[in-house]
Structure 1
Amino acid sequence: MTLTATTPFHIPAALPHAAPGDREWLLDCHCAGPVVELLKARGWEVISDPYANVHCTSPDQRVYVGFLPETKEAASHGELWHIQVKDTDGEVAWTQTFGSNVPAQAVAGFLAALIAFPSRHCACV
């Protein structure tokens, strides 16, 4: 089996930021702010409920993002973030959860990558 890259990968001549030992890694943002800001800026519907949970839906209604600190899943399993993607028939295609220790900026990065690829088809298939 041979793998062929569709886009050449270039190693940067210099790191764009401080060397790994000199930087501060994301460790402490556990609010919904970075995710909500990202999604609102892209036209997603964002609703807060009376229990401090935040529910976000993509403009096409096929992606749901929930910040659910006040649910039994968060309390018992530490699942703070719930992401659900539906196929064109409305069936759940896949889900992803992130625990309460995952910084909100990392969840926002995951969602930004998801949004950046508008086609469901992978070039390697």
Structure 2
Amino acid sequence: MAKPRTPTKKARVSGATLKDPARFKGRKEPANPSPIGAPYKGMTPAQVKVWKECAENMPWLSASHRLLLRQVSILAARMETDPEVGVSAMHALSAMLSKLGATPTDESKVDHPDGDVDPDDKFFH
């Protein structure tokens, strides 16, 4: 089975577009995808907290991820409030986080900037 395609936004954050620019050259993706937006109105405070945390920690998320992020928020909030969350719910949460690019494995692929940021770097990347 083929490995799923890495979204261009995520590839930029991880540095993959710099490592292998030819792989991403012919991609056609929305130029300005809609932002992830605010949490759904019917969500509980715990779910809203998870939503905001995910939106802050995963800047590549867009409006097309809203439904999946809602499911992640529901399961992650349930994990905090329900001591008897089942193994299947935990596996589902792990799979959804992986699809959003938020697992520890995916995090290790993201290029994190050093503490000292050179303002001229934007001209060289």
Q: TM-score range by the shorter chain?
A: under 0.3
TM-score by structure 1 length? 0.27
> Which structure is higher in strand share?
1
- TM-score, scaled relative to structure 2: 0.27
Q: Name the structure where helix makes up a greater proportion of residues.
A: 2
| Higher RCO structure, 1 or 2 (CA under 8 Å, sep 6+) | 2
